Structure 1
Amino acid sequence: MLERYYQELLNFCSRTVRSRDAAVDVVQETYARVLALQHAGQSVPEPRALLYRTARNLQIDLHRRSEVRGETLHADAEASAAELDQLAAPQAGEPDVAAASTQGVHALLATIDALPLRCREAFILHKFDGMSHAEVAEQMGISRKMVEQHVKLAMEACRRCRAQLDGTAEATAEPTLRRRKPARK
């Protein structure tokens, strides 16, 4: 989560706070709070939306603290505080985007579930459990090359599903794993 949204969130905060150092502090505190929620066992279905909302609230708190302390604000800081109140929520917070995201997740899970058993097992071990191809091969008792083929097949199925969801699906035949022919006796 950190790598995925950090730069985007930092740019957002930099535009509204107008100080790169203050923006870095806000982003760091934002991540600390969201990670604390996750460690407390609370699920975060839309992490990007939560990060933006938390950052926005922290920026408002920063502005209020500076007013309470009687700190003089620069003219551009006052303008930035006014801009902050007028900012729209990130698109991920919109109901239709959230619904589309949920539908996309369900479609991808259905695609993964429709994979052949061994292919699905290799894919899940590699992508979700973070095992290397060699570790998956050892656990499943198959060759590393076979694991690579299983993962490749699963990735292609996921890409096709994504393309269908995005409306860019091409008429391509589904690749299948080549099976060895039994040896003749």
Structure 2
Amino acid sequence: MVSQVDPAVIGCALLERYYRELLHFLQRQVSDRDTAADLAQESCARVLAAQHSGRDILDVRALLYRTARNLLVDRHRRAEVRRHDDLDAMPHAEQPCAPRHLQPEEALASQQILRAYAGTIDRLPPRCREAFVLHVFDDLSHAQVAQRMGISVSMVEKHIVRGMLACKLCERSVSAQDSPAPARTAA
């Protein structure tokens, strides 16, 4: 006479066989033994529930790991929602803001500075502007600029110095506009 073995007993034995392996896997994922144990236990409970519902499970280990991964994803999503809710609850002044260069005032100031520099460069004499742009923006050496423009290296150097001085004056005037005027004292 062949005795019938209860499938639930076989399922429990398989789960016990994979429990430690799953626990170690989850521990590496969450870096917390207690959380890993909770996730492993929940995974086993869900696989057992699936077995008891009468579903055919071809590979218990694969289902166990898939369930554990899904639980990890759910846990991560819940943590993100909580983090997002915590940020919403923060007073406005404490909320992290965008980097300074992305702030509207900074962006506007940067655009104004760029326009000032572009205007300064545009006002240079044509040959001076050409030498300056070739050297600074196209990254050509003095010799390469001289060869391209058909002038001496010495002349290229003079043009570049003139362009640099013009940009330095532009920088000073922009800085002077940004800084508050000094307070006058009564004499």
TM-score range, shorter chain: 0.3 to 0.5
TM-score using structure 1 length: 0.46
Higher helix share: 2
Bigger radius of gyration among the two: 2
TM-score using structure 2 length: 0.45
Q: Which one has more relative contact order, counting CA pairs under 8 Å at least 6 apart?
A: 1
